[in-house]
Amino acid sequence: MPRIAILDQDSCQPKRCSLECHRYCPGVRTGDDTVVIDERTGRPTIFEELCTGCGICVHKCPFRAISIINLPQELEGRRIHRYGPNRFALYELPIPRAGKVMGLVGQNGTGKTTALEILAGRLGPNLGSREAAPPKVLNEFFKGSELQAYFARIGRVKTAYKPQAIDGLPKVVRGEVGALLAKADERGASRELSEALGLSEVLDRNVKLLSGGELQRLAIAATAVREADIYYFDEPSSHLDVYQRLNAARVIRGLAEAGKAVLVVEHDLAMLDYMCDYVHVLYGKPRAYGVVSSPRGVRVGINVFLDGYLREENVRFRRESIRFEVRPPSKARVAGRAMFSYPKLKKRFKGFELEVTPGSVYVGEVVGVVGPNAIGKTTFVRMLAGELKPTVGRLGFKLAVAHKSQYLKIEFGGTVEAWLRELIGEFGPSFDPEILQPLEVRPLLERRLEELSGGELQRIAIAACLGQPADIYLIDEPSAYLDVEQRLSTARVIRRVIERREAAAFVVDHDMLSVDFVSDRLLVFTGEPSQVGKTQGPLGMREGMNMFLREVGVTFRRDPQTGRPRANKPGSGLDREQKERGEYFYLG
Ligand code: SF4
Ligand code: SF4
């Protein structure tokens, strides 16, 4: 059975331990070099060929920095890349196919971006050794598979790549949007794609003045205007609202319809479903190893991912399957105990007005907030939080409010634990089991804030918000940067905390599955982005989803196996039928 030993470089702290991994290893005690301590760094290297897998070092290490993993026998000899001894390893690769959109879905840290970088020719696969493998070795390795021809041509395959992180784009490209797109345009498509992605109005804007959503759309357009054989899109929906996600999905599908091969990494399952033909599931242990499954049709692939079991490979990669249910309203809401009501409000900025119609929120209720970007959702949230004063109307209640902002800029020069303690004081008895553990914040407590990734910052920001005692929790875009499992466990944590504390929450989100999973009712924002916004509701889920999705122009049905909402293909029989009946979000 193949075995790998992984050392989490962020957790290993040789200056703060007694090198227990070395001291207690039975191999070392009998004179072997199973664990060798580097003289310069003080960190251990575990020699996998000598390690018996006893697991003693795993339990003895005070910082839980070591994982010893026994892999399925079938993975023997299937290692594609390793970042070095005791570091992350990737097994198998996705397969690009001409005229098809192939999706990749899986937990963060299981190698999706590594796989894309290899296929895009930006990272030479080393098959587990120290050096990138030469073409002859790769040819032998992939012999008989669809990837053999791919690697034979890899120097000549033209690829276009949209990276995951786009926030740093203004540091590497300079100039105005229109000029940049014109320069990248090899297909004569920049005008068409600017319109399709809603960039026409920012063509003369400098890149450094763009919002996150505008940068994302520019990055998608700049990739799609290139002439390439294979297009790679790494998380194209981050920072986009539902309208923009659908437009991006149509642009991506358009490339496949023009005969190109397209590979997409995406955590928004509704979007993945909407744009892909096939799906590869990635499973493994985050930051330790990842395995790319064989491709499956998009419906089956997403269901397999939710089920946590790959039948053909006979691999269970998650203990529980994920199910979506049509929930009854929370008990507190049935009892109808109002938490607070707000009157008609208005907020005006230069060139923008938000009108808030009167509404009430019940005890124990989670209200999902949906609508396009720049329509006033954050303004509404900030008025409730007391951060903005309404121009017309007054909020008379005195309720304690905890707010998680959409932006994750946390300036604090210390550890996560120190930051949490400064914000919420002593941790109460339920904080750890109810919030820190399910949000996977516990392993981050010793880390410094400036070292954290977007997903890690998101989880600690949610924990900090929910850790504060409050009557109303305002949680703005909790699913950004999180993978599917983290999104759903976050939704569960929010619901549990709100119900148990008899509080109420507004959750702003663009991921339809997360909205469906977390909300009791919906507050819908309509209007014209950047000009005028108006709230409708809170409405029941069915009414709210119908109103919202009618505006977006997309219909959903439920998958009979998992209960998850699936976007209907535009113009399909179901799409037309549901639109005629006015049932955009089929709840049956
Ligand atoms: S792995 Fe654990 S025991 Fe070993 S040096 Fe690192 S922190 Fe210390
Ligand atoms: S698993 Fe056992 S044999 Fe392997 S390095 Fe750890 S203590 Fe040594």
Nearest CA to ligand 1 atom 5: 14
SS3 track for 446-482: CCEHHHCCHHHHHHHHHHHHHHCCCCEEEEECCCCCC
Domain positions in the chain are: 3-70, 73-158+230-237+256-321, 165-227, 331-539, 553-588
pLDDT in tens, 58-114: 999 999 999 999 888 888 888 999 998 999 999 999 988 999 999 999 888 888 888
CATH no., domain 331-539 = 3.40.50.300
Per DSSP bridges, beta strands 472-476 and 401-404 are parallel
Nearest CA to ligand 2 atom 3: 51
Region 188-204: mean pLDDT is: 90
CA separation, residue 12 to residues 8, 66, 266, 342, 445 (Å): 6, 8, 31, 51, 14
* Local structure of 291: helix, strand or coil: strand
Q: State the distance from the centre of ligand 1 to the C-alpha of 79, rounded, in angstroms.
A: 26
pLDDT in tens, 215-267: 899 999 999 999 999 999 988 988 888 888 989 999 999 999 999 999 999 98
pLDDT score for 62: 93
- Can you tell me the distance from the alpha carbon of 541 to that of 247, in angstroms, rounded to the nearest whole number? 24
Residue 505 bridge partners (DSSP): 366, 473
Residue 130 burial (CB < 10 Å; 0-12/13-18/19+)? exposed
Residue 40 has pLDDT above 70, yes or no: yes
pLDDT score for 17: 92
- Can you tell me the distance from the alpha carbon of 149 to that of 139, in angstroms, rounded to the nearest whole number? 8
Q: State the distance from the centre of ligand 1 to the C-alpha of 29, rounded, in angstroms.
A: 17
pLDDT in tens, 274-311: 899 999 999 998 888 999 999 999 999 999 999 888 88
Of all residues in the chain, what percent carry a pLDDT higher than 70? 97
Q: State the distance from the centre of ligand 2 to the C-alpha of 6, rounded, in angstroms.
A: 11
User: Which residues touch 206 (CB under 8 Å, ≥6 apart)?
Assistant: 175, 176, 177
Given this chain, do its domains 73-158+230-237+256-321 and 331-539 carry the same CATH topology? yes
CATH of 3-70, one of 3.90.1150.10, 3.40.50.10540, 3.40.50.261, 3.30.70.20: 3.30.70.20
CATH no., domain 73-158+230-237+256-321 = 3.40.50.300
pLDDT score for 566: 84
- Among candidates 268, 305, 290, which has minimal Cα distance to 487? 268
Q: What is the CB-side half-sphere exposure of residue 552 using CA atoms within 13 A?
A: 30
pLDDT score for 153: 80
* Exposure string for 307-342, b = 16+ CB within 10 A, e = fewer: bbebeebebebeeeebebeeeeebebbeeeeebbeb
Phi-psi region of 582 (alpha: psi -120 to 50; beta: other; left: phi over 0): left
pLDDT grade for 167, boundaries at 50, 70 and 90 = confident
Q: State the distance from the centre of ligand 1 to the C-alpha of 18, rounded, in angstroms.
A: 8
Largest CA distance in the chain: 79
User: Which residues touch 419 (CB under 8 Å, ≥6 apart)?
Assistant: 410, 412, 449, 460, 464
The closest-lying atom of ligand 2 relative to the alpha carbon of residue 46 is 5
